[in-house]
């Protein structure tokens, strides 16, 4: 009786207090780790460990990050509500918005009508029909890299894949070679994003407001990046082609005005950074998993020998590489390169019946939802075979979402999927990697992407593809 009265009093006070404090004062919220300050230090210390620990509280978890209420939804139906059905009630979350320190107002972080217009401009070169033209370039770069990898040589698999996917994105979307400045841009993006991710300040700055200044190293890398990309844009302006950058340069708004240089730069930097590390990670994890699963590897090379008969893959043979595709899908299920995505509530609302105050942060973790035994039996097993017999069609929407979903679904999803299959086929046909460490012993890091903390050293073992 007393407790009920107390609850009513809390509820009444909560109704009058600022929205962000409402869950704490009313006490009406899903379970989750308590201690707003310890949550900050745990999450900044290792977001991966913090999210893994949260899973034990149930399908909806709530915690305070300092003064900010945060929710993690693991249920596909809740994820669908936010990313698809009621997407206009949300914007990107604070930690994604932090990326605008590097990506400016590029596609990944822009919002509203401005985002819609930019997406329309950037979409055509990445549509299914258009990316078909890139298949031969993807295979050519992969063939060149594989030919350079001598038998018994020792390499960092992750570095090899980063170099390869960078060359591919730079050539296909910007019609540039790495020598034309691509390498400098990557170095500068790498340093800027590294600084952004590594410095706990940037993270705190994003969640707790802009009161914490950025580091000097970060500012220097950002200036270097801006200078190099601006020079690249100027060069392309003199010599327009049919690539993504040329299209953005040629685009005109309703008043006939071209895009400003700052915006062009933001879109270019966004494509560079979003367009290569993610695919490189999918390939890196695929090769480590293949090394640890000889049965899967044997099925993969059997398909490659059977379909390709010693020839490189092409757009025509691509649809027959079904097991190769399943290896890519299964790798991204267990090791999603974008392991979690987030949104911020624009107004008070409900998600899966849970009241959410305006300004709350909502997270969806591919890494956990895609390992849920309700959707994937034996979820921890690497089993590409599960993708046959129409699994993708049978799954509830958002049980598998490595590319996100709804209007903000990855604009490069068809590109990345085709690239990963073609590169995997070209390389695995000719070689395999023998990593020095087991995947479970490779320390992983998760802020924007799920990636190995250090190099993934491996020995190259060449093979002779069977010819018919």
DSSP 313: P
User: Residue 388 burial (CB < 10 Å; 0-12/13-18/19+)?
Assistant: exposed
Listed ranges 150-158, 217-225, 345-353, 398-406: which one lies at the site for ligand HEM (CB under 6 A): 398-406
Is residue 403 within the footprint of ligand HEM (CB under 6 A)? yes
Q: Is 158 helix (H, G, I), strand (E, B) or coil?
A: helix
Is residue 270 at the binding interface for ligand HEM, with CB under 6 A as the rule?
yes
| Residue 331, H or E segment | helix 322-334
d(CA 344, CA 89) in angstroms, rounded, equals 9
Count of positions (residues) in the chain:
468
Instruction: Tell me: does residue 422 bind ligand HEM (CB under 6 A).
Output: no
CB of 91 to ligand HEM, least distance (A): 10
Q: Which of 39, 195, 278, 370 binds ligand HEM (CB under 6 A)?
A: 278
Residue sitting closest to ligand HEM (CB):
412
Taking the C-alpha atoms of residue 15 and residue 170, their distance in angstroms, rounded to an integer, is 53
Tell me the site size for ligand HEM, rule CB under 6 A. Answer: 25
Q: What is the x/- site pattern for ligand HEM, positions 147-186, by CB under 6 A?
A: ----------------------------------------
Of 98, 327, 338, 356, which lies in the binding site for ligand HEM, with binding defined by CB under 6 A? 338
Under the criterion CB under 6 A, does residue 197 sit at the interface with ligand HEM?
no
CB of 341 closer than 8 Å to CB of 364: yes
- Give the Cα separation of 197 and 211 in Å (integer): 17
Strands 341-345 and 68-73: unpaired
Q: Which of 279, 284, 331, 370 binds ligand HEM (CB under 6 A)?
A: 279
Applying CB under 6 A, among 43, 54, 72, 108 the residue interacting with ligand HEM is 108
Contacts of 437 (CB under 8 A, 6+ apart): 456, 457
Question: Between vectors from CA 35 to CA 29 and to CA 40, what angle results, nearest 5°?
Answer: 110
The secondary structure of 160-177, three-state, reads HHHHHHHHHHHHHHHCCC
The token duo for 56 is 């034990």
* Smallest distance, ligand HEM to C-beta of residue 107, A: 4
Q: How far apart are CA 147 and CA 279, in angstroms?
A: 21
Task: By CB under 6 A, tell whether 408 contacts ligand HEM.
Answer: yes
Residue 274 in contact with ligand HEM, rule: CB under 6 A: yes
The piece of 40-48, 146-154, 199-207, 337-345 that touches ligand HEM (CB under 6 A) is 337-345
Task: Find the binder of ligand HEM among 19, 355, 379, 404 (CB under 6 A).
Answer: 404
Looking at beta carbons only, is 24 or 400 nearer to ligand HEM?
A: 400
CA 283 and chain centroid, separation: 13
User: Which of 273, 368, 306, 297 minimizes the C-alpha distance to 60?
Assistant: 368
Name which of 22 and 343 has its Cβ closer to ligand HEM. Answer: 343
Question: Binding to ligand HEM by residue 415, rule CB under 6 A?
Answer: yes
- For position 121 contacting ligand HEM by CB under 6 A, the verdict is no
CA distances from 17 to 7, 20, 21, 326 (A): 15, 8, 7, 51
The reply on whether position 76 binds ligand HEM by CB under 6 A is no
Nearer of residues 96 and 186 to ligand HEM, judged by Cβ: 96
C-beta of residue 456 within 8 angstroms of C-beta of residue 442: yes
User: Closest distance between ligand HEM and the C-beta of residue 261, in Å?
Assistant: 19
Kindly state the smallest distance separating residue 311's Cβ from ligand HEM, in Å: 25
Q: Which is nearer to ligand HEM, 33 or 167 (CB)?
A: 167
Build a one-symbol-per-residue string for 284-323: x at contacts with ligand HEM by CB under 6 A, - elsewhere.
----------------------------------------
Please state the closest distance from residue 213 (CB atom) to ligand HEM, in A: 26
Contacts of 194 (CB under 8 A, 6+ apart): none
In whole angstroms, what is the distance from residue 463 CA to residue 467 CA? 12
- Helix H or strand E encompassing 92: strand 90-92
Contact pick of 402, 435, 446, 452 for ligand HEM (by CB under 6 A)? 402
Chain contacts with ligand HEM (rule: CB under 6 A): 92, 96, 107-108, 119, 126, 270-271, 274-275, 278-279, 282, 337-338, 341, 402-404, 408, 410-412, 415-416
């Amino acid at each position: 009786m007393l407790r009920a009265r107390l609850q009513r009093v809390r509820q009444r006070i909560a109704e009058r207090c600022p929205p962000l404090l409402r869950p704490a004062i009313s006490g009406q919220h899903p379970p989750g780790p308590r201690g707003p300050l310890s949550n900050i230090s745990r999450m900044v210390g290792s977001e991966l460990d913090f999210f893994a620990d949260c899973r034990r509280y149930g399908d909806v978890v709530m915690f305070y990050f300092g003064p900010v209420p945060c929710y993690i939804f693991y249920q596909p139906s809740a994820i669908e509500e936010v990313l698809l059905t009621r997407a206009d009630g949300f914007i990107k979350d604070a930690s994604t918005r932090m990326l605008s320190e590097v990506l400016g107002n590029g596609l990944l972080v822009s919002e509203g009508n401005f985002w819609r217009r930019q997406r329309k401009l950037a979409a055509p070169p990445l549509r299914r029909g258009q990316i078909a033209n890139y298949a031969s370039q993807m295979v050519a770069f992969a063939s060149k890299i594989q030919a350079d990898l001598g038998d018994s040589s020792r390499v960092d698999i992750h570095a090899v894949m980063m170099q390869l996917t960078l060359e591919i994105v730079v050539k296909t979307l910007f019609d540039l070679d790495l020598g034309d400045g691509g390498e400098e841009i990557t170095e500068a993006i790498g340093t800027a994003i590294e600084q952004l991710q590594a410095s706990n300040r940037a993270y705190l700055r994003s969640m707790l407001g802009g009161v914490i200044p950025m580091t000097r190293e970060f500012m220097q890398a950002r200036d270097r990046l801006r200078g190099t990309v601006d020079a690249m844009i100027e060069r392309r302006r003199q010599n327009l082609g049919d690539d993504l950058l040329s299209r953005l340069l040629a685009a005109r708004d309703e008043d006939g005005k071209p895009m400003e240089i700052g915006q062009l730069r933001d879109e270019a930097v966004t494509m560079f950074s979003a367009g290569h590390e993610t695919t490189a990670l999918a390939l890196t994890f695929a090769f480590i998993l293949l090394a640890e699963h000889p049965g899967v590897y044997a099925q993969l090379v059997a398909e490659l020998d059977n379909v390709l008969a010693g020839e490189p893959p092409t757009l025509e043979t691509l649809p027959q590489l079904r097991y190769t595709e399943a290896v890519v899908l299964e790798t991204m299920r267990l090791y999603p390169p974008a392991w979690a995505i987030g949104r911020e509530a624009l107004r008070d609302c409900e998600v899966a019946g849970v009241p959410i105050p305006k300004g709350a942060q909502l997270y969806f973790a591919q890494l956990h939802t895609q390992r849920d035994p309700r959707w994937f039996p034996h979820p921890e097993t690497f089993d590409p075979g599960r993708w046959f017999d129409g699994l993708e069609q049978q799954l509830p929407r958002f049980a598998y979402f490595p590319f996100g979903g709804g209007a903000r679904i990855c604009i490069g999803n068809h590109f990345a999927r085709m690239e990963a299959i073609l590169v995997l086929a070209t390389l695995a046909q000719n070689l395999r990697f023998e990593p020095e460490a087991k995947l479970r012993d490779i320390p992983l890091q998760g802020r924007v992407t799920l990636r190995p903390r250090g190099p993934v050293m491996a020995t190259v073992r060449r093979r002779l593809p069977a010819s018919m």
